[in-house]
Chains A and B, each alone.
Chain A
Amino acid sequence: MKIIVCVKQVPDSSVPIDFDLMNNVIREESIVYVINEADESALQEALRIKSATGAEITVISAGPRRVEETLRYCLSLGADNAVYLKDEDIIRSDAYATGRILASLIGRYEYQLILCGTQSSDSSSAQVGPTIAEFLNIPQITYAIDIKVDETKESATVTRLIDRGDQMVIECPLPAVISVQRNIHDLPYPTLPMRIMAREAFIQTYDLQSLGLSNHDVGVQGSQIMHEKLFTPRPKTKGAIIPDNSLSVTERINLLLSSETSSRGDADLLEGDPEIVADKIVDYLAEEGYLMG
């Protein structure tokens, strides 16, 4: 069995990033790059399958040179091969461009299972896995917390997390893309012999040309989503109706306490067949003017 695990290198989100307030830029050297947590979970899930039934694991990634460190880390945890597309611009790609590029990279390899993290801790689109599946035209399962592979039936039984802590078990034919939730395993720690081995291991490197892609396929040019501006969001506050300002503080507090809670806005819940729901979403986005071109 051959498993491909897609991993992303992200800034360590457990620590703040240092800003140069004089020049209004991030101090690049303050960023510590680590493997995306959910991708690490995906790799651990692949390793678990490997130890149970035997499998060959190939980790793939894309990005600037520093990404090699993350791939070596994956090798030290027990991945068998590492492949990466070396490109400086790819970090500015959206999920569409990233998924497309990764799919064309994956297309060069044999696979029965493609695993990735549900979402990255930096851009959090949760779209790369599904995009890869679409480009490869294979099934996808998202938010997985457990995967059981049956090689004879060429299928996987996946437990996925759905709303309010409910779980859903799905069986799906292989090959498929499965995106894995973060923190479903204990923190891994590579052994020293594996780290030494990984330090010198061969990493298959591609560039855009070798994949038949060009600069137009990556970064802002290759992306479908445009960023208008980047800002730190304010903490979400619960919407509260501010009572009449002419009342005294006590009266206003009492009014707030006594008032009934309102519903969380007027959201429409779309239900039905995924294809139909997708069409409805596209219609809605077009109506509201979010789609261009």
Chain B
Amino acid sequence: MSTLSAIIFSIVFIISIGFFAWSCFRRYRLVARGKSENRFDAVGKRLLNMLVYGFGQRKVLGRRYGINHMILFWCFIILLIANAGFILSGLFPDILAFSKLPSPVYKTLVYIFDILSGLVLVAIIIAIVRRIFFPPYSGARNMEGFAILIMVFLLMSTYFGLHAIEISQHIEKAEEAMPISNSVASLFMKDISQENLATYANLFWWLHALILLGFLNYLPYSKHMHIISAIPNCFFKRLDNLNSLRPEHINKDKNFGVGQVYEFTWKDLFDSYSCTECGRCTSVCPPHLVGKTLDPQRIVLSIKTNLLKNGYLHRNDMRNEIPLIGNNGKASISPESIWECTTCGACVEVCPVCIEQYPKIIDMRRHLVLMKGSFGTEIKTAFRNMSNHGNPWGKPWWSRSEWLNKAKLNRLGSCSQAEIVLWVGCVDSFDDRNNQVVISLARILQAAGLNFAILGNEEWCCGDPARRLGEEYLFQLLAARNIETLKKHGVREIVTACPHCYNTIKNEYPQFGGDFQVTHHTELLARLMAEGKIRVSNRLEEDVVYQDPCYLGRYNGIYESPRNLLRAMYTRPLEMESSRNNSLCCGGGGGHMWLAEHGKDKINRLRVRDAGATNATMIATACPYCLTMLEDGISDEGELAARIRVMDIAELIERTL
């Protein structure tokens, strides 16, 4: 390298670093316009998440080809050292270079660099082949994807080219430590004259340098921004299971929900920068799987596009602002897709870079409900019913405990003297089929000698459907009412057969001063069984398969209690192909239990076909929504109706007592 080259490179380098910094700053400023949110607490936990999900690539590895990405990721991190050395030697030729290091150290380094660069090249070729022949999602064959792969491919090719030339020029001190570069040299460089080699050396050096700087500057303008933002995004990950929604403070003169991109929090906006467009969230999204418009990846990307398009508008130009919600192309999100979400959480679960997709959808629902009042009549009716009668169906509130009449139970005591209060929930209270579940549960509890009570007609809807459908105000009214009732009766411990009530009371009521110890019936039953208070006569041969309710599994991590119960009752419980944290929603969450599902296929039908594929004759579940949705699904799937039934685990236990 001549001094002139060094000077030219210095100028190029400073300009490109400056441009990169400016690009990042512009992007940063847009994110900083988002609403505030504290994601800097519990630094220890956050660092751990960053290690596990960011550096450990835990969720990337969960899928095929994940290992390919892992190799690229780690090789890249290590090769950053090589590239730093490369740049330093370009800026300060012959002064700063790895070759100045003691020979053994230098040799080790170049050996590692050489091998890793080879690995990267192989991984990149695999990635290109995959993208062409086995695209992971429908839009995978896009220019952007190939552009970055080709850039990395060229970066590695020039790396080997440069080193092979240096070996051929006999100026490389450690050629024996560079097996791949050495082979390249002996394969391609043998017949080239020393003079030409010098020219090529220069050419390859500049090519490598320019591709490297070009790559750097391309990042902020592409989906590969995730190379910069994904690791911090894992640091900023929500620390709970994302099982509670952010409360709105009900004040005057306030905008509720998100109707404009800046009404998102900075983390929501940062999420959109981190999207790698891998398509995982979309591939597991239940409405998407049955052909609806919802596409969680598109939602995240629309937020990004909207932010970038509106963010740089001049203040006087605001009338050209593209609305966030509407049908205005890529930069806006259609209201239909917003209403289709079942809040099953599969998107969040599968996202390799810890993006929180569905809470954004709820934020936008809040805007449509609280600020616009524009949403379907079905939903309005459900809200009115919850508000007037304390349940989404609009059954008279004073008939809530009528199921007791058919239960033939011993007299229940008062809540204040009971060990535990059984929270019945709207579905188990009012739905004929689900009445059977709470009756079974109550009988088991009495048989186990547990002193429990119910709130009777004083219990109102926990508010889950209202909150998930965006009616935060109604939710807060219902929550306040129930918390007051529970406190009035001195209730401390609650058991419920509904994962939605469970999640709401356990994880969301504390936001409003309601701290109760909440147990799901499968947990309580598993405990009673372990204590020997419930005894199952003999294990059945029947083929049973368990449906993980989203709000029990993904939301609250309860996978084992229901399975333990099933293992105690059945010789061989089966598993569906997607189960536990990858379980598929029944289609009833997010308020959809009370909304008609349109379209050719339905989520519940899809799920019962999954169950049918196991050849099970019984679907066991632990959620009234799942029970209703799957039973409906089975009756829609004519062929399955004859051979599969759905029952709650409590009903199954009662049968074997």
Q: Which residues from chain A sit less than 8 Å from chain B, CB to CB? A: 12, 14-16, 18, 27, 29-30, 32, 34, 186-193, 195-197
By beta carbon, the residue of chain B nearest A200 is B252
Q: Decide: A189 and B396 in contact? CB cutoff 8 A.
A: no
Q: Decide: A14 and B252 in contact? CB cutoff 8 A.
A: no
- Most B CB contacts (10 A, CB to CB) among A16, A196, A197 go to A196
By beta carbon, the residue of chain A nearest B256 is A192
Fill in one digit per residue for B453-487: 1 if any A CB lies within 8 Å of its CB, else 0. 00000000000000000000100000000000000
Q: Decide: B395 and A15 in contact? CB cutoff 8 A.
A: yes
By beta carbon, the residue of chain A nearest B378 is A187
Q: Chain A contacts of B384 at CB under 8 A?
A: 187
B656 within 8 A of A: no
Q: Decide: B371 and A193 in contact? CB cutoff 8 A.
A: yes
Q: Which residues from chain B sit less than 8 Å from chain A, CB to CB? A: 250-254, 256, 369-373, 375, 377, 380-381, 383-384, 388-389, 394-399, 473
CA distance A189 to B253 in the complex (A): 19
- Most B CB contacts (10 A, CB to CB) among A32, A189, A190 go to A189
CA distance A14 to B381 in the complex (A): 11
Q: Decide: B383 and A189 in contact? CB cutoff 8 A.
A: yes
Q: Can you list 17 A-B contacts with CB-CB less than 8 angstroms, sorted by A residue number?
A: A14-B394, A15-B389, A18-B398, A32-B388, A187-B377, A187-B380, A187-B381, A188-B380, A189-B375, A191-B373, A192-B250, A192-B370, A193-B253, A193-B254, A193-B371, A195-B473, A196-B252
Q: Decide: B373 and A190 in contact? CB cutoff 8 A.
A: yes
CA distance A186 to B384 in the complex (A): 14
A95 to chain B, nearest CB (A): 26
CA distance A188 to B369 in the complex (A): 11
A187 to chain B, nearest CB (A): 5
- B371 in complex: contacting residue of A12, A27, A32, A191, CB < 8 Å: A191
Q: Chain B contacts of A34 at CB under 8 A?
A: 388
Q: Decide: B373 and A189 in contact? CB cutoff 8 A.
A: yes
- Most B CB contacts (10 A, CB to CB) among A30, A191, A192 go to A192
Q: Chain B contacts of A15 at CB under 8 A?
A: 389, 394-396
- B396 in complex: contacting residue of A16, A191, A195, CB < 8 Å: A16
Q: Chain B contacts of A193 at CB under 8 A?
A: 252-254, 256, 370-371
By beta carbon, the residue of chain B nearest A191 is B373
Q: Chain A contacts of B251 at CB under 8 A?
A: 196
By beta carbon, the residue of chain B nearest A27 is B398
A67 to chain B, nearest CB (A): 16
CA distance A190 to B380 in the complex (A): 10
Q: Decide: A188 and B373 in contact? CB cutoff 8 A.
A: yes
| Known contacts A32-B389, A187-B380; 13 further A-B pairs (Cβ under 8 A) | A12-B388, A14-B394, A16-B396, A18-B396, A187-B377, A187-B381, A189-B369, A191-B371, A191-B372, A192-B250, A193-B253, A193-B254, A193-B371
CA distance A34 to B372 in the complex (A): 22
Q: Chain A contacts of B377 at CB under 8 A?
A: 186-187
Closest 6 CB pairs of A and B: A192-B370, A15-B396, A189-B373, A187-B380, A32-B388, A30-B398
CA distance A197 to B253 in the complex (A): 9
Q: Chain B contacts of A12 at CB under 8 A?
A: 388-389
By beta carbon, the residue of chain A nearest B388 is A32
B581 to chain A, nearest CB (A): 35
By beta carbon, the residue of chain A nearest B375 is A189
Q: Decide: A191 and B398 in contact? CB cutoff 8 A.
A: no
Q: Chain A contacts of B369 at CB under 8 A?
A: 189
By beta carbon, the residue of chain A nearest B379 is A189
A13 to chain B, nearest CB (A): 11
By beta carbon, the residue of chain B nearest A188 is B373
A69 to chain B, nearest CB (A): 11
Q: Chain A contacts of B396 at CB under 8 A?
A: 15-16, 18, 30
Q: Chain A contacts of B389 at CB under 8 A?
A: 12, 15, 32
CA distance A186 to B395 in the complex (A): 22
Q: Chain A contacts of B388 at CB under 8 A?
A: 12, 32, 34
CA distance A197 to B372 in the complex (A): 15
